[in-house]
Each structure stands twice: as structure tokens, then as C-alpha cells.
Amino acid sequence: MTLTALRSSAASAVTTIDAKTPAHRDRAVDGLRALALLAVPTGHWLLGGFTLDTHGALHNASPLTAFGFFAPVSWVLQMLGVFFLVGGYASVLSYRRAQERGTSTTRWLRGRLARLGRPVLGVTAVWAAMIPVLYALGVPETTLRTGSTLVIQPLWFVGVYTVITALTPWCIRVSSRLGAWAAAPLLGAVVTVDFLRYGPFASAMPSWLSLLNLLPGWMFAYQLGVSWGEKRLGRRAAWMLLVGGTALFAALLLAFHYPMSMVGVPGETRTNSHPPSLLVLALAAAQSGAAILLRDRIGRALRRPALWAPVVIINLSAMTILCWHQTAMLAAAVPASFAGQIPGLTAGPDTVAWIAARLAWLPLFAALLALIGRYARGFESPWQQVSRGRRALAGLLAAGFTVFALGLA
């Protein structure tokens, strides 16, 4: 196919996508979701590297260990606050539409949770089947464990998001009573836990205390999204979120010495994201305020078919991107490990040259993700033609992979 024919075909596809979009579709919210989605693989690909040991096995490494100045990049790429914000917004609209159709809450939840669960079951089952094959082909067990850790790493997010989604009816009820202030108790819970684990009583606190931040920490932005979808959060509140979140973020870094990086750094005793600290909520508040204030501008920009078409494609492949982007990076790194130290791929992320080399590898990772996604997207569709026996087998394989990835076997 000639270049002219390719351009014509692409232009036709773009026009078709735009024409099929319902007039009531909120393009700005879809655009925000797509932006947050792309930040996940970009962040993992930029802030995650490998080292190669003397036996040719891959180990996880991070450029943040060597380059502290790289930490602000994580502020930009940590967009889970936006993802939860639009998730709450979209969920409340979906729930209201289901109620209008007479769909029960239980049935609505079952449908939402199935959409989240199928791709996770798919990727973990496929990896369970691949591990013995890769081992037989000579891939070291250490490399397989490193890869399994990376694959399962983004899936914690799906688990947390699933629990929060199940709480949507409760979030709506709280929002109807408190409006935008419905997120305040969640902020207060994280403030309390952070004070206990980092304040004057830190030495007396149990190690599991930080886990209490897991649900309220990530639910904060989701609750804001629910209030936004219920029209209980307007521009005035958005300005308060933007200004207040930015001020709190700066204060936590400068006065309370929170870690600079939004993601974990090997060797550091404190982390902001696992589970979330108050710094994560400050960033989420600022991002949420900015997103709400920019909504109309984003919506107008996405009226252009050429900008809108990629947003549609990304949103249709949301779970595929989340579940398979680490596999795409590994698809390049694991074969390369047999060739030795390759800058930006298997060599340690401890030089400035590594950063430049990693940037050069990103298009390959993206191409591999697109190729994998062509086949993996089937896991996002309803499994109506899959027998119960095959579903049970997939569940068994997924459980086995989880055990392996968590180092329990």
C-alpha cells in the first residue's frame, strides 16, 4: 500500500470515528482519561530499568536511584488522581443511566467489575502458560521472577479501583449530602495516618499502619469525580482544589520533607505511592482542580477529528494498555538480555546516556504494545463463547501466576 493510500485510509477512519460519536459524548472526560492512561506506560518505561547480573539474568532498577533531579518527572507522570477523578465522574453517569433503564445496582456492579476482571484474568493466565515455555527456552528463573513482578505491579491498581467502584452507590449518597466536601473525611483519614507514621510517635507505630491509607488515599479523587458528575463540584471548588493542592504539595516537600519522587525508589525507607501518602492527595487535588477548570477547552480541542480519533482508540483499549504495557517492555528486554549490556535496555540506569537511550527505545515499546494489544484486546470483550471449563482453567492459571509473582512459590 502506497503512502498516499495509507493517508487516505487513515483520514477515512478518523472521519468515521468522529461521525459515529454521539453528540452527548463528553469528549473532555474521555480525553482526560486517555491522557492519564498514557501516563502509566510512559512512567513505567521511563522510570523503570534493568541491570544484568553475571549469569545473564535481569533485575529491576530505577534511574531515580542515581538521578534525584529526575523526581519531578514523576510529578507529571503520576496521573492516577486524574484517572480516579474521571473514573468517579463516568461511574456516576453510568449508574444514573442504569437506574433510568431499571437496571438493579447489583447488575450494574456486576457488569462494571466484569469489565475490569476479564483483562486481568487474561494477562495473568497467559503469563502462567508462558513461564514454563520461556524457562525451557533458556530464560533464567530470576528474569522470569523480575518479569512477573513487573507484570503484576500495575494490577494492584485494578484491584483497588474494583473495590472503589463497588462503593459507587455509597459515594453518591455521601455526595448528595455533603457535595464537594464528601472527599474531606478521606483527606482527614490520610492526614491522621501520616501524622502517626511520620510524626513524633512514629517509632511506636506498627508497620502495617500505612495500609490504612490504601482505600481513602485512592478514593479521594474518585469521590471528587462523583461529586463532579453529580454537579456538586463547580469552578469555585476547582480553584480551591488547584490552589490548595499546589500549596499543600509544596509545603509537604519543603517543610515536612516528604520524598521528592511520587513512585518508590529502591533503597528509600519512605514511599509516597505504596500506599499513598498525603503528597499523593495534594497532587491529586491540584490535578483534579486543573482538569475541571480546563474541561471546556479540552472538549473544544477534541472536536477536531484528528485529535479525537486517538482518544477513542486509547479508551477502547484502556485495560489492555494497563495490563500489557510491562509485557511490551519485557518483549524487548528479555531477548536483548542474551546479547549482554545494551544501553537503555539491559544496562543499568546510572548514566545520563541511559536516559537518552531509553527515550530512543520508547517507540519500540509502543509498537510492541500495539502488536500485543491487537490480540490481547479480546480479553476485554464479554466471554460469552468461553466455556465454564476454560474459565476455570484461566482462573487456575491466574492464581498460579500470582503465587509465582509474589514469591510464594
Give per-residue pLDDT as tens, 176-225: 999 989 999 999 999 999 999 999 988 899 989 999 999 999 999 999 99
Task: Give the model's pLDDT for residue 328.
Answer: 97
On the question of pLDDT at 91 being above 90, the answer is yes
pLDDT band with cut points at 50, 70 and 90 for residue 408? low
C-alpha dist (Å) from residue 73 to 42, 150, 192, 228, 273 = 11, 20, 28, 28, 15
With respect to residue 238, please indicate whether it lies within any of the assigned structural domains.
yes
Q: Which domain holds residue 332?
A: 27-42+57-405
With respect to residue 295, please indicate whether it lies within any of the assigned structural domains.
yes
Task: Give the model's pLDDT for residue 94.
Answer: 93
With respect to residue 159, please indicate whether it lies within any of the assigned structural domains.
yes
With respect to residue 21, please indicate whether it lies within any of the assigned structural domains.
no
With respect to residue 34, please indicate whether it lies within any of the assigned structural domains.
yes
Give per-residue pLDDT as tens, 288-324: 999 999 999 999 999 999 999 999 999 999 999 999 9
Domain count for the chain: 1
Quick one: cell of 138?
533458556
With respect to residue 205, please indicate whether it lies within any of the assigned structural domains.
yes
Give per-residue pLDDT as tens, 348-390: 998 899 999 999 999 999 999 999 999 998 888 877 667 778 7
* pTM confidence score: 0.93
With respect to residue 365, please indicate whether it lies within any of the assigned structural domains.
yes
Give per-residue pLDDT as tens, 101-146: 999 999 999 988 888 889 999 999 999 999 999 999 999 999 999 9
With respect to residue 12, please indicate whether it lies within any of the assigned structural domains.
no
